[in-house]
Amino acid sequence: MNVAKDTPPDHRAESRTSVRPINIRGRFLTAVALKIDGGLPDDDFYAALDDMLRQRPHFLVDAPLILDLDGADSLTRSTEMKDLVANLKARKFNAFGVQNASDMQLAAAEEAGLIAVPPGRDAPLRDDRPERRRSAGTTEKQPTAVTRTVTVPIRSGQTVVAEHGDLVVIGPVASGAELIARGNIHIYGTLRGRAMAGCHGDTEARIFCQNMDAELLAVAGLYRTSENLGQEIRKRSVQVFLQDERLCVETLG
């Protein structure tokens, strides 16, 4: 999720959306495989199925269903295949594919409107995916740090964000104003508003402030408000950092 948010907008993709492209997305779903053993599905087979449904009426209802033909060598004709699908449909099973089918069975299944689902593919896929995701992540998560410097007073109601690095403010920050940075925050002036460093979870980020009178201080999501900051650090030069998952405020000099 984070990776997607951080990625800078792709302008080519944006221009493509303006002509309304066909939207194709990968989709994983859980299907149920029904093993058809022995000969053609007969009354006994359906009776057993009905019996099972009576015991657990909501079990697998409307579930996407795959017919596993591993042990059903005699089921080779499309009419039989269609019968089976219709009978299952009557019991609210939606068969859409076959697996472990022979060539002859495949042809019949195709005629019956079923698709071939390759069995046992999920194992290699699972090995493959996280690695691809990781490599994609490392290339995207290395934007060069960009410092943002502000030399005018930050007024009440304003928010200044340094999305990709440190934030340096030279001037006062009014109560009701907000400073947010991915990295450190430096304030050369009085901080009366809020400062949030390490907004993407960087626990090494710090806040340095020449004159501390803040409403709220936060590093990597851990915060303290003016109520529990203590009087002894008010109007002093301080630094704010995380130590053992605690937010520490320390006077400087």
CB of 157 or CB of 221, closer to another protein: 157
| Integer Cα distance of 41 and 25 in angstroms | 37
Please choose, out of 13-21, 128-136, 152-160, 218-226, the segment that lies near another protein by the rule CB under 8 A: 152-160
CB of 191 to another protein, least distance (A): 12
Determine if 158 is a binding residue for another protein (CB under 8 A). Answer: yes
Candidates 47, 52, 86, 152; binder of another protein (CB under 8 A) is 152
Closest CB to another protein among 78 and 237?
Answer: 237
Residue 249: CB minimum distance to another protein, A = 22
- State which residue, 141 or 235, has the beta carbon closest to another protein: 235
Alpha helices by DSSP H, 56-176: 78-90, 103-111, 122-140
Instruction: State residue 134 phi and psi, 5-degree precision.
Output: -65, -45
Name the minimum Å distance from CB 213 to another protein. Answer: 10
- Residue 78 or 226 with smaller CB distance to another protein: 226
The span from the CA of 72 to the CA of 105, in Å, is 9
CB count within 10 Å of CB 139 equals 7
Residues 6+ apart with CB under 8 A from 151: 170, 171
Could you tell me how far CA 157 lies from the centroid of its own chain? 32
Q: Which residues, in sequence order, are CB contacts of 75 under 8 Å at separation 6+?
A: 36, 39, 40, 41, 69, 81, 84, 105, 108
Site residue total, another protein (CB under 8 A):
15
Stretch that binds another protein, among 2-10, 88-96, 156-164, 230-238 (CB under 8 A): 156-164
The answer to whether 93 and 65 have CB atoms below 8 angstroms apart is yes
Q: How many whole angstroms separate alpha carbon 187 and alpha carbon 211?
A: 8
Residue 17: in which H helix or E strand, if any?
Answer: helix 11-17
Kindly report the number of other CB atoms within 10 A of residue 197's CB atom.
28
Give the footprint of another protein on residues 165-194 (CB under 8 A).
171-172, 174-177, 190, 192
CB of 174 to another protein, least distance (A): 5
Nearer Cβ to another protein, position 2 or 225? 225
Tokens 């029904």 map to which residue?
A: 34
Window 192-211: residues binding another protein (CB under 8 A): 192
Rounded least distance, CB 172 to another protein, Å: 6
Read off the DSSP letter of residue 100.
Answer: S
* The one among 156, 203, 225, 251 contacting another protein by CB under 8 A: 156
Stretch 62-121 residues interacting with another protein (CB under 8 A): none
Binding site for another protein (CB under 8 A): 152-158, 171-172, 174-177, 190, 192
